[in-house]
Amino acid sequence: MTDVLFPSLSKETPDAEGILSTWFVGEGAAVTADQLIAEVQVDKVAADVLAPVAGVVHLLVEEEAVVSQGTPIARIE
């Protein structure tokens, strides 16, 4: 099982919070490595989240949730 972490987009404040803007996959979806699975935002910076490995996604965070950088947002098994 591999955790997908909310990326660290703010180097000055590594514990800053952001928003999980959009999931591009649903619970239980099969994904490939490097597939786009989500978009996140910290302050005015948006970033894509790619699957680090291939497998089945288990979402841990809902869309529009406020999340600290480095927090697991999904698991892939």
Whichever domain contains 45, its CATH number is: 2.40.50.100
Burial of 20 (0-12, 13-18, 19+ CB in 10 A): buried
pTM of the complete model = 0.89
| pLDDT over threshold 70, residue 10 | no
Instruction: Supply the range of the domain harboring residue 23.
Output: 2-76
- Split into its structural domains, the chain has a count of 1
Q: How confident is the model over 19-67, as pLDDT tens digits?
A: 999 999 999 999 999 999 999 998 888 999 999 999 999 999 999 999 9
Measured distance CA(18)–CA(50) in Å, rounded? 17
Strands in 66-68's sheet, in edge-to-edge order, are: 45-50, 36-42, 17-23, 66-68
Amino acid at 36: L
